């Protein structure tokens, strides 16, 4: 996103500004947020224009002036040549394009994550206590953002229970690997509550959760107080969309796919359903 923003792509600049405004993937910085939103708004991006107003309300005059100064001094980077593109592609073949979290559901190595973390065709490597191991994608459910993977070895699985008994206000938690480039590979625990029994626009497939999650938490197990899986961490409320509709930045609004959908998904895989 940053590379595209530095090449003067308005949508990327608006999105990067929203990231800085909410602290998503980067340290929260209203000056940087204002800079990128100014640049995007100058190119006519409507989301950036609305987000600017929300960010200005949280800034001092000095911060606004600094953001304007940074925007005026901005010089777009040149788009890489085709030769440079080839080099970049070869690097991406050996480096991870994305990272997320997963959890084992059987002792013999079946595990769950999000489809947007490891979809069909993805080459997956797992960082585990046993070291770096390969995994293959067995089946995905793109509609519900679920993916079933298989690794070789013996693992400690988590029990998956139906989410139908979960109530609003129930305590839940997740252990994941957010922002590994910034926060490292050690697992991170986050706790919260079931904030709503439905997701965005009352989508019944999701829970809204107050568990603080960051990029990289996607695919992690949402567990109840007994350690039973009741959901799969999936998404945050899109900051740009929230600003566009309400004029305010979202605060800790996150979502998890309900485990009842996960159980239905697993029933369609005979080798897992039989376990």
Task: Please give the positions annotated as active site.
Answer: 116, 145, 218
State how far the Cα of 153 lies from the Cα of 146, in Å rounded to an integer. 22
For 231, list phi and psi in degrees, rounded to 5: -175, 175
> For the residues of 242-275, what is the DSSP string, one character each?
HHHHHSS---S-EEEEEHHHHHHHHHT-HHHHT-
Grouping H, G, I as helix, E, B as strand and the rest as coil, residue 151 is strand
Q: For the chain, state the CA radius of gyration.
A: 21
Longest dimension (CA), the chain: 64
d(CA 84, CA 102): 34
Where would I find the H helices in 102-171?
none
């Amino acid at each position: 996103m940053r590379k595209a923003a530095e090449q003067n792509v308005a949508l990327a600049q608006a999105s990067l500004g929203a990231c800085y405004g909410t602290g998503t993937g980067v340290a929260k910085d209203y000056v940087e947020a204002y800079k990128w939103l100014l640049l995007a708004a100058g190119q006519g991006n409507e989301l950036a224009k609305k987000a600017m107003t929300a960010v200005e309300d949280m800034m001092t005059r000095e911060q606004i002036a600094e953001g304007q100064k940074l925007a005026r001094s901005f010089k777009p980077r040149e788009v890489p040549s085709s030769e440079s593109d080839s080099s970049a592609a070869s690097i991406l073949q050996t480096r991870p394009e994305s990272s997320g979290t997963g959890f084992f559901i059987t002792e013999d190595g079946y595990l769950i994550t999000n489809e947007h973390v490891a979809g069909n065709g993805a080459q997956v490597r797992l960082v585990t206590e046993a070291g770096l191991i390969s995994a293959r994608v067995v089946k995905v459910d793109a509609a519900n953002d679920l993916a079933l993977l298989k690794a070789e070895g013996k693992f400690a699985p988590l029990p998956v229970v139906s989410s139908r008994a979960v109530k609003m206000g129930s305590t839940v938690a997740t252990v994941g690997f957010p922002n590994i480039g910034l926060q490292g590979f050690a697992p991170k625990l986050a706790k919260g509550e079931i904030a709503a029994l439905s997701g965005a626009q009352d989508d019944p497939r999701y829970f809204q959760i107050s568990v603080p999650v960051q990029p990289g938490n996607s695919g992690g197990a949402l567990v109840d107080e007994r350690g039973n899986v009741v959901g799969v961490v999936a998404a945050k409320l899109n900051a740009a969309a929230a600003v566009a509709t309400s004029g305010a930045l979202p605060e800790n609004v996150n979502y998890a796919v309900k485990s009842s959908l996960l159980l239905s998904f697993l029933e369609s895989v005979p080798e897992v359903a039989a376990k």
